[in-house]
Amino acid sequence: MRVQRWNEEPVERMNALLSRQVVHGVNITMARLVMNKGAVVPLHHHVNEQITTLLEGSLLFVLDGTEQVLNAGESLVIPPDLPHRVEALTDAVAIDVFAPTRADWLRGDDSYLRK
């Protein structure tokens, strides 16, 4: 068992407009993403199911060509392998939960976030 304190976790600056904090469990990964207005997560897909809960702001998701705006207090479930892209319409804070654990992030294969 471990207690997670976001204010004690290192902040990883992915690019000028996006930072993240990550906690990996045995079967799940949780990330806290801080996105400044205009930040973009380019089109990508992964084997993980993802649930994004938006704590602050507004994000535009493009999921397999379909646009969906997510506002603070809302969650979005993204099935495994579904191509998606995200743009911050405002400054935003999101919690992303992934199952299984993001093995690609553990290996350092996250260059798409660093653009």
- Percent of the chain residues topping a pLDDT of 90: 86
* pLDDT computed for residue 113 by the predictor: 81
Per-residue pLDDT tens for 64-112?
Answer: 999 999 999 999 999 999 999 999 999 999 999 999 999 999 998 888 8
Give the separation between CA 56 and CA 2, rounded to whole angstroms. Answer: 26
Per-residue pLDDT tens for 6-18?
Answer: 999 999 999 999 9
Per-residue pLDDT tens for 22-54?
Answer: 999 999 999 999 999 999 999 999 999 999 999
The Cα angle at residue 51 between residues 26 and 25, in degrees rounded to 5: 10
Query: In the β-sheet with 18-24, what is the strand arrangement from edge to edge?
Result: 12-15, 18-24, 29-35, 92-99, 49-56, 75-78
48, with CB counted inside 10 A (0-12, 13-18, 19+), is buried
16, with CB counted inside 10 A (0-12, 13-18, 19+), is exposed
| Pick among 2.60.120.10, 3.40.50.300, 1.10.3720.10, 3.40.50.12500: CATH of 6-104 | 2.60.120.10
Domain boundaries, the chain: 6-104
pTM of the model: 0.93
Yes or no: say if 47 and 98 are a contact pair by the CB < 8 Å rule: no
